[in-house]
Amino acid sequence: DIVMTQSPDSLAVSLGERATINCKSSQSVLYNSNNKNYLAWYQQKPGQPPKLLIYWASTRESGVPDRFSGSGSGTDFTLTISSLQAEDGADYYCQQYYRTPHTFGQGTKLEIK
Amino acid sequence: QVQLVESGGGLVKPGGSLRLSCAASGFTFSDYYMSWIRQAPGKGLEWVSNINAGGSPIEYAGSVKGRFTISRDNAKNSLYLQMNSLRAEDTAVYYCARDRIFGGLDHWGQGTLVTVSS
């Protein structure tokens, strides 16, 4: 199985500042034939199901604010939230869909200071 | 709008069985892969299984292979998860999700809680 490791496990960032969450896969999730990274990011607020933010490592899902961006390739990925808003406090997960099982990272808890 | 509604959760004894259902609406169900994902209390997300739009192929996480069976009825716009030989570690909220397979899980239900305890 592909192991997804996120860092940090938790972070606290002030309103208006930038938050960065990292995700590392145990093997590359870049499919060479189409040059796409099979990596998604999700946001989950307490008591709610996860919400898809980013797919193909950097493509923002429709309706997701542009302060959310994804980057990286191969085995190392980053979710960046620029100019944090109060509603961004949540758990964030990366997921690879390159190979089944489509494993998730352990999650990163983002607290707004 | 896309809606996914899970049902069938509850309390079951270790070794018991349970069948979860997911009723889909607001999209052409037979066009999409579907997935089950679970989340133990206070823990992270665990991918459980997915199923092709037509019913095959099917994939499972190692932790449930041989015990859980995913299926779908495209005529009824429904997804199922038959869970046998349940263990305490299967206790979780179970979510169904629409799977774009090459674009992430774009719609999720609210989840149904399964508790395995004597």
Per-residue pLDDT tens over the stretch B45-93 = 999 999 999 999 999 999 999 999 999 999 999 999 999 999 999 999 9
Of B35, B45, B103, nearest to A55 by CB-CB distance is B103
pLDDT band at B101 (very low <50, low <70, confident <90, very high): confident
Q: Does B51 touch chain A (CB under 8 A)?
A: no
Q: In chain B, pLDDT over 70 holds for what percent of residues?
A: 100
CA–CA distance, B65 with A100 (Å, rounded to integer): 12
Nearest residue of chain B to residue A98 (CA atoms): B102
Of B35, B45, B59, nearest to A93 by CB-CB distance is B45
| A85 torsion bin: left (phi>0), alpha (psi -120 to 50), beta (else) | beta
Contact A95, A4 (CB under 8 A): yes
Q: What angle do CA B2, B4, B10 make, to 5 degrees?
A: 170
**What is the torsional sign of CA A53, A55, A61, A65?**
positive
A71: pLDDT strictly greater than 90: yes
**CB–CB of A1 and B45 under 8 A?**
no
Nearest residue of chain A to residue B59 (CA atoms): A100
Q: Residue B10: its pLDDT value, please?
A: 98
CA–CA distance, B17 with B75 (Å, rounded to integer): 25
**CB–CB of A104 and B59 under 8 A?**
no
CA–CA distance, B53 with B41 (Å, rounded to integer): 30
Q: In chain A, pLDDT over 90 holds for what percent of residues?
A: 100
**CB–CB of A49 and B109 under 8 A?**
yes
Mean pLDDT computed over A81-104: 97
**CB–CB of B59 and A100 under 8 A?**
yes
How many Cβ atoms sit within 10 Å of the Cβ of residue B93? Answer: 20
Q: Residue A65: its pLDDT value, please?
A: 97
Of A54, A56, A104, nearest to B47 by CB-CB distance is A104
